[in-house]
């Protein structure tokens, strides 16, 4: 093989690898800005106003703005079209999504855009912290893009419904990853009508993708100073994490409502898994389908939960009365 052919093959492989990339670094973001790609900040508006990547746009916290607060599924498509269109977010363009380091929201936003046909959507997982640490500038200017009239076309093959997941239970050509906590997976932490998990599912919490899966707890306890532990493990470590899985098989990723699953889906696609699908309704939808088979099945005792809520409300009311009594001025008997 001639040297010219070898170099050509290397360049072709490098180009393919670049196209396959899902999770990008600060240098990629800078190059994307120079290409006039759209930069989407999915953090809360209050955070965005304090500082963001120059030229980035915001609609607020994406995982809240674009999901129904009860079902936690996508809001109605016309509403999504209006929100994205008003912000000038065109899925046909190159888009880089970022938030806080380790946040699931950028990955959810990427999944949503991909579901509606986007082909050039990247996640800057290291987020605004990573941008600033890399020496990137920040801005407090509110960027306005030309509004669009969107007519989105869903691509259902990128996601699965509850009925489709039930049909896949027990199939040897399908692997299911549950990205929830072990407590949720084993029915100890019930956040839906039932606790438990889909039979045959493999529990790999999405935090296991991070260099230190305990970073959130450590931050809450002031045991670490920053979010550096939420950086993703390197490619070799991530391959070991998912070594029991077959990258050729259909891979279904789920969690409680699809948001945590979106981060794991991004990681798997970045590792070269060929057929990754997000079960968007996830355990909320699966648990509500009472005839869907489940392992470690535990039913939520609604009556007991309501009683505890009433007791808690009573305690809050008592505390409020005590505060009001203590805040009253003392009465002068000799006045």
The Cα–Cα gap between 82 and 150 comes to: 7
* b/e burial code for range 180-204 (CB count within 10 A of at least 16 → b): bbeebbbbeebbbebbbbbeebeeb
**How many CB atoms are located within 10 Å of the residue 91 CB?**
21
121 and 20 inside one domain: yes
Q: Within a domain: residue 319?
A: no
334: left (phi over 0), alpha (psi -120 to 50) or beta: alpha
Residue 122's CATH number: 3.40.250.10
pLDDT at 302: 60
Q: Does any domain span residue 200?
A: yes
Structural domain contains residue 309? no
Same domain, 149 and 106: yes
pLDDT computed for residue 158 by the predictor: 87
Distance in angstroms (rounded) separating the CA atoms of residues 268 and 276: 7
Q: What pTM did the predictor assign?
A: 0.84
Q: What is the pLDDT of residue 316?
A: 76
Q: What is the mean pLDDT of each run of 10 residues along the chain (335 residues)?
A: 37 41 96 97 97 97 91 92 96 96 97 94 97 97 92 90 96 97 96 95 98 96 96 97 97 96 97 96 95 91 64 72 66 48
195 lies in the same domain as 117: no
Residues 14 and 105 in one domain: yes
79 and 167, same domain (yes or no): no
Q: In terms of residue numbers, what domain contains 281?
A: 157-204+242-299
95 and 107 in a common domain: yes
The number of domains in the chain is: 2
Could you tell me if residue 260 is inside a domain? Answer: yes
Predicted confidence at residue 163, as pLDDT, reads 96
On whether residue 132 sits in a domain, the answer given is yes
Residue 196 shares a structural domain with residue 79:
no
For residue 70, what pLDDT is reported? 84
Q: For residue 20, what pLDDT is reported?
A: 57
Task: Output the CA–CA distances (angstroms, integers) from residue 175 to 200, 209, 267, in the order listed.
Answer: 8, 18, 16
Write the CA distances from 98 to 9, 121, 269, 275, 315, integer angstroms.
33, 11, 17, 24, 41
Q: Considering the domain boundaries, does residue 39 fall inside one?
A: yes
Does 78 lie in the same domain as 187?
no
């Amino acid at each position: 093989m001639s040297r010219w052919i070898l170099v050509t093959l290397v360049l072709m492989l490098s180009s393919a690898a670049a196209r396959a990339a899902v999770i990008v670094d600060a240098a990629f973001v800078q190059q994307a800005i120079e290409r006039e790609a759209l930069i989407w900040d999915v953090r809360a508006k209050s955070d965005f106003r304090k500082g963001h990547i120059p030229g980035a746009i915001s609609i607020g916290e994406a995982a809240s703005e674009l999901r129904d607060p009860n079902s936690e599924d996508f809001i109605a498509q016309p509403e999504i079209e209006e929100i994205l269109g008003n912000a000038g977010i065109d899925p046909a363009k190159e888009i880089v999504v970022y938030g806080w380091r380790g946040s699931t929201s950028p990955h959810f936003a990427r999944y949503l855009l991909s579901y509606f046909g986007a082909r050039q959507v990247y996640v800057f997982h290291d987020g605004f912290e990573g941008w600033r640490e890399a020496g990137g500038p920040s801005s407090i200017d509110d960027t306005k893009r030309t509004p669009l009239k969107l007519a989105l076309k869903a691509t259902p093959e990128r996601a699965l419904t509850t009925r489709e997941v039930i049909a896949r239970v027990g199939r040897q050509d399908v692997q299911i990853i549950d990205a929830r906590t072990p407590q949720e997976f084993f029915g100890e932490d019930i956040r839906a009508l039932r606790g438990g998990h889909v039979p045959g599912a493999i529990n790999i919490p999405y935090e296991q993708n991070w260099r230190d899966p305990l970073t959130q707890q450590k931050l809450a306890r002031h045991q670490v100073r920053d979010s550096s532990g939420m950086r993703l493990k390197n490619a070799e470590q991530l391959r070991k994490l998912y070594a029991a899985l077959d990258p050729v098989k259909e891979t279904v990723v789920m969690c409680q409502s699809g948001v945590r699953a979106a981060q794991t889906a991004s990681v798997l696609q970045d590792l070269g898994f060929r057929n990754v699908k997000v079960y968007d309704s996830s355990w909320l939808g699966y648990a509500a389908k009472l005839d869907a088979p489940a392992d470690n099945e535990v039913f939520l005792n609604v009556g007991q939960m309501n009683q505890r809520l009433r007791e808690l409300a009573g305690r809050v009311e008592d505390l409020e009365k005590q505060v009001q009594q203590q805040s009253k001025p003392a009465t002068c008997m000799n006045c």
